[in-house]
Amino acid sequence: MKEKERKAGLLLHISSLPSKYGVGTLGEEAYHFVDWLKKAKLKIWQVLPIVPTNYGDSPYQSVSSTALNYYFIDFDILREKGLLKLSDYKDVKLGYEDNKVDYSLLFNGKIEMLYKAFLNFDSNNKDFLDFVAKGEYKDFAVFMTIKKIHNYISWDKWDKTYQNYSKELEEAIINDYYKEYLFWVWTQYEFLDEWNKLHKYANDNGIEIMGDMPLYIAYDSVEVWMHPEMFLLDQNKVPTLVAGCPPDAFTDDGQLWGNPIYNWQYMKDNGYKWWNERISKAFVLYDILRIDHFRGFDRYYAIPYGHVNARKGSWQDGPKFDLFKDKLDLNIVAEDLGTIDEGVRTLMKQVGYPGMKIIEFAFDGHSNNEHKPSNYTNNYVVYTGTHDNMPLYQYILDLKEEELEIYYKDLEKECELLSVKYLGEEPHKLVECVIELAYASKADTCIIPIQDLLCQDGKSRMNLPSTVSTDNWSYRILKENLSNELALRLASLVTKYRR
């Protein structure tokens, strides 16, 4: 097997980029960020799912598995295209803090401003008409049109006339609400135009974009509304089982995600058509695809609908290798974290995709801990933490005295094994050491969340799983965080460890 190139990258979602207008976008600051990555000699920019957010503002609970987040459309680009004037949006309040996304302000202000831009757009131009005719985002646009009619509530609360999808209903919606329907199609058209230009700019500068695909779909989604047969629902379209994780050392109640469970037998019978299309679309957008909760393809944890926690669930068989047997040449990263057993290990061997290691979990006094850098083989992506973890600096601050002693001892030993200089017991020095261990490790790819590179505390946490809070998904960086000094420090690590 050909040896893979060693690479380093950074995890930062688009929403977290600097911006004057409430949320990171695909505009000027995204290009500056690519320039900064190049200066830091980083080769991968990892983002979270770029789908529209819905309940709880989570990109893992979207109204569509393949639609694109219109919040990321850039006002200044729309102005350059003649669709908005600066006076239209310069005083629109879309956020109160530069380092935090306020989704309620975005929801109330950004859609209105985008609609204004759409009204100035020539919807009869040939390129757009071809895009509409192609129908790739028709389902999403119809769903969002009906959602708007119902003040954006969940589809199961709509008037009975609209709850059951039919071709006739779809045609009636397009006919009766054509302008509204076209607006939602246009959001996808505009996003793709901005995304494709940014993606090309990144690639031209030697940077690949790693996207992220959630395993599950939200109940309030176009897929569940249109294709209830793909999910385990009763005759009233209420889920019979929902997704989550069993209780573990971190939580007595487990994690209750609440997503409907797939009808894997149905999907197998039609040759996994929906999955094949979903993965194909992802590779049009990204160079590398991380698939979340990969263990769920081997066996998934299912909880009876209506339970208040995840204590009483059961493990059920997923599609296993059958779904991936024709996808072995794809550039996929498998998020193989959580409850790992022989079935998951077998599936990982069969697919050959790189798995993930999290150094935050490594220093517990056990020499056989698989997250210890000295225990890695090449075919992994190593992270200090993911979007679901407490930032490393705060994690260290929160350790109890006896845990901290083990942490110091373990970390120092790992540094010795990998010829990394141990910098002492000051928390920010420990963070620096852990990052260098990730770079020094055998793992082919090393990706660090920006919060850890900036040594930020718990207020910068991106998400606390199984909670709904305005703190989740709202983290943003400031322009000054992307300093020349940090770029040069990373560039020296890239050079030192041949990444």
For residues 71-87, average pLDDT: 98
Per the CB < 8 A criterion, the answer to whether 191 and 73 are in contact is yes
Catalytic option among 194, 223, 292, 360: 292
Each residue's pLDDT tens digit, 13-38: 999 999 999 999 999 999 999 999 99
CA angle centred on 395, ends 354 and 249, rounded to 5°: 70
Closest CA to 435 of 411, 467, 400: 411
Say whether pLDDT at 1 is over 50.
Answer: no
Strands 7-11 and 241-245: unpaired
Percent of the chain whose pLDDT exceeds 70: 99
How do the residues of the chain divide into helix, strand and coil, expressed in percent and rounded to 5?
A: 45, 10, 45
156 in catalytic set: no
Is 112 noted as a catalytic residue in this protein? no
Structure confidence by residue, pLDDT tens digits, 362-374: 999 999 999 999 9
For 192-239, write each residue's pLDDT tens digit. Answer: 999 999 999 999 999 999 999 999 999 999 999 999 999 999 999 999
pLDDT band at 143 (very low <50, low <70, confident <90, very high): very high
Q: Which of 223, 335, 412, 414 is catalytic?
A: 335
Mean pLDDT of 396-416: 96
Q: Which of 388, 403, 425, 457 is catalytic?
A: 388
Q: For residues 144 and 185, is the Cβ–Cβ distance under 8 A?
A: no
Amino acid in the structure at residue 447? I
**Residues of the chain with pLDDT > 90: what percent?**
92
| Model pLDDT, residue 467 | 83
Does residue 404 surpass a pLDDT of 90? yes
Per-residue pLDDT for 266 more than 50?
yes
Going by pLDDT thresholds of 50, 70 and 90, the confidence category of residue 55 is confident
Longest dimension (CA), the chain: 70
* CB within 8 Å of 200: residues ≥ 6 apart: none
From CA 219, how far away is CA 147, in angstroms rounded?
A: 14
Told to judge if 234 belongs to the known catalytic residues of this protein, a careful annotator would answer no
Crossing angle of helices 484-496 and 427-440, rounded to 10°: 40
As a whole number of angstroms, the distance between CA 174 and CA 222 comes to 15
pLDDT-based confidence at residue 466 (cuts at 50, 70, 90): confident
| Ramachandran region, residue 354 (left: φ > 0; alpha: ψ -120 to 50; beta: rest) | beta
Residue 3: predicted pLDDT: 62
Among residues 222, 233, 220, 295, the alpha carbon closest in space to that of 262 is found at: 233
Model confidence over 310-343: pLDDT tens digits?
Answer: 999 999 999 999 999 999 999 999 999 988 899 9
Q: Give per-residue pLDDT as tens, 94-136.
A: 998 899 999 999 998 999 999 999 999 999 999 999 999 999 9
212 touches 219 (CB < 8 A):
no
Is the Cα dihedral 477, 19, 32, 202 positive or negative? positive
* Mean pLDDT score of the chain: 96
